[in-house]
Amino acid sequence: MRSLSAWVVLSFVAAAAALPAKDCAHKVKESVPPPRGWTKTSPAPADHIIELRIALPQPNFAELERHLYEVSDPFHDRYGQHLSKEEVESLVAPEDESVHLVNEWLASHGIYEDNLSRSPARDWVLVKVPVSQAEEMLKTEYHVWTHDASGEAVVRTTAYSLPEHLDDHIELVQPTTMFSRMKSLRSTFRFDSDEEQKSAKIAANAPPISVPSASGGHVDASCNQTITISCIQQLYNAVGFKPSAKNGNQIGITGYLEQFANIEDLQTFYAEQRPDALNSTFKTVLINGGLNNQTLDEAGAEANLDVQFAFGLTFPTPATFFSTGGRPPFKPDILTPSNTNEPYSEWLDFILAQKEPPQTISTSYADDEQTVPVSFAKRVCNGFAQLGARGVSLTFSSGDGGVGDGEEDPALQECFTNDGRNATRFVPLFPPSCPFVTAVGGTIHVPETAVFFSGGGFSDVFPRPAYQEQAVSKFLKTLPEGTYKGLFNPNGRAIPDVAAQADLFRIFLSGRPVSIGGTSAASPTFAGIVSLLNSARLSKGLRPLGFLNPLVYAIQAADPSAFNDITTGNNPGCGTPGFNATKGWDPVTGVGTPNFGKLKDIVTLDLLHIAGLT
């Protein structure tokens, strides 16, 4: 009879023998051409630390997607019956075999459970390793690549491989082939001049503008030069509605790229535009090394814009600002551990782990869709679907480059494919191109017209979802035959879905009044209206709205007056006039801007799918 110690030794030897050898056959997992606008400058330092994000397949995602559409479809009996955190995690969890085989592979490189972390559903594995080890694991070579226009640098490769037996058990590994440059979608801002202040005083004394859909049928004339909280409430028929602070409703704003929302500026803003909110504040949550610098001269224009308008519109709804650290650029003179991942994934890891995330969350950052590897874009999009299934409404700015890339200045736009062909192509943005989020375009002035920089178009990655088929097909039929042929994908997910005011917003930045614009103003504005709708629903014992798009398009088809249809303006880019705003949905302003009063009447009906839309 063998001793227990002998069995232990034999078991250890057998387990060690089962580990895949480092030199086993590998297969190229992903390969991209040298990215346009980037220059390979030097080999990456061997001791530079990167955090590899390893995605395991989600074999039951189609089932999650079915649940998402059923609970988001106002015509379905399950409308509003969102899934729990645990139910969602069970639907995206990888197979045990995938977990086991990936564990073996990591162990063969000396990486064990104590050296890694996992997402709540175990569908992501995160490991921090030096470049030299990543190169061995992925049979690749990392280099420092410099972006020609900005001078920013990243550590990336153009191809990597995995052991052949893991091909079906790992969907992707990043950072490897992603050369995106996450941008804040803010166009320009300027401090108020004496001339502008004089014009504002004149406008303040002018007669109001007649807008039948607005609260009271009119809007202050000053709103044509300066957008305030009062202007939004008037224009979108929300005057007089008071959300509850105690019904469980919450709103969130995401912040990236060292953007800090300044509390002192917020108080100054409140004193001028929302005096009843004075001395109230918001919760700041730090993610992945995010910071909360409250030095006044470090205030972020983007963060202040988002917080002041979203939280000003929804006071006294409890509010959260998520400050997420990390950005792709690599600093070659600082070889301390740093995160070179796309920050969206860091935020998603955090928010999906929360039991009760805010029901409405706005984001004003994006990448050119073509710079995000398809595999990664789809996985991040799937993460947004998980939030939607749990009852979270996600709004994203549609972009500030019209049909071009994120550059507002058409002279700086590079409307070429990034696949080595250098073909001319319109440039949609991601994440607004994800079908599981609500993309928000922009308008300007009263009466409203499309603002010229409003991002819009058609995804080259995601097909058009069924919820927008009718509205988008109708628009495409109005285009003269051959219009922009080859410049966009007429079968792609269309953006934006909706719109809101996007320019001339008056905020406070570093203690001074500033006029600011961009679809980064439109997204928190529309999110503020959604949060008010959620408050109205929750106060009546109804569920939050969750994933908005099926409802948005259903309402627009049944009662177009619930949205203010924008029929003038266009979004030039890539050397073209872009698309025109027109009757019904269009790729400049979506189905239009919200009429809160009408929408509230619809969404607060019980049995919405029967009483509200049939």
3-state SS, one letter per residue, for 127-142: EEEEHHHHHHHHCCCC
> Residue 475 is inside which H or E element, if any?
helix 469-478
Q: What is the pLDDT of residue 57?
A: 98
Tell me the C-alpha distance between 349 and 522, whole Å: 26
Task: Report helix, strand or coil for 564.
Answer: strand
Tell me the C-alpha distance between 590 and 609, whole Å: 23
Q: What is the pLDDT of residue 329?
A: 46
Angle at 76 between CA 583 and CA 550, to 5 degrees: 30
Positions of the chain with pLDDT lower than 50, given as ranges: 1-21, 328-340, 610-611
Q: What is the pLDDT of residue 431?
A: 94
- Measured CA to CA in angstroms, residue 166 lies from 105, 373, 378 at distances of 9, 20, 20
Contact predicate 253/284, CB 8 Å: no
Peptide bond before 175: cis, by omega within 30 degrees of 0? yes
136-146 pLDDT tens trace: 999 999 999 98
DSSP 57-100: P-TTHHHHHHHHHHHH-TTSTTTT-PPPHHHHHHHHPPPHHHHH
Q: What is the pLDDT of residue 195?
A: 54
Contact predicate 305/524, CB 8 Å: yes
For the chain, which domains are there?
19-58+93-179 (no CATH), 189-333+344-611 (3.40.50.200)
Residue 420: phi and psi, rounded to 5, are: 95, -15
Q: What is the pLDDT of residue 196?
A: 57
Q: What is the pLDDT of residue 1?
A: 40
Task: Report helix, strand or coil for 583.
Answer: coil
DSSP 164-180: GGGTTT--EEESSS---
Contact predicate 373/178, CB 8 Å: yes
Tell me the C-alpha distance between 564 and 529, whole Å: 14
Angle between helices 263-273 and 301-314 (to 10 degrees): 50
Q: Has 566 been labeled as part of a binding site?
A: yes
Tell me the C-alpha distance between 602 and 68, whole Å: 21
CA 525 to chain centre: 15
Q: Which member of 123, 306, 346, 368 is catalytic?
A: 306
Tell me the C-alpha distance between 240 and 216, whole Å: 11
Closest by CA to 342, choosing from 118, 181, 137, 454, is: 181
Closest by CA to 392, choosing from 320, 312, 496, is: 320
Q: Has 54 been labeled as part of a binding site?
A: no
Q: Has 409 been labeled as part of a binding site?
A: no
Q: Which member of 89, 171, 302, 400 is catalytic?
A: 302
Contact predicate 91/61, CB 8 Å: yes
The label of the residue with tokens 């679809």 reads 519
pTM: 0.92
Tell me the C-alpha distance between 577 and 600, whole Å: 36
Residues 6+ apart with CB under 8 A from 242: none
Residue 302 a catalytic site member: yes
Tell me the C-alpha distance between 269 and 263, whole Å: 10
* Rg (the chain; Cα; Å): 25
263-272 pLDDT tens trace: 999 999 999 9
DSSP 335-380: -S----S-HHHHHHHHHHT-SS--SEEEE-EEEEGGGS-HHHHHHH
Q: Which member of 213, 215, 362, 520 is catalytic?
A: 520
Residues 6+ apart with CB under 8 A from 275: none
Q: Has 586 been labeled as part of a binding site?
A: yes
The label of the residue with tokens 């086993």 reads 24
Task: Report helix, strand or coil for 510.
Answer: coil
DSSP category for residue 219: E
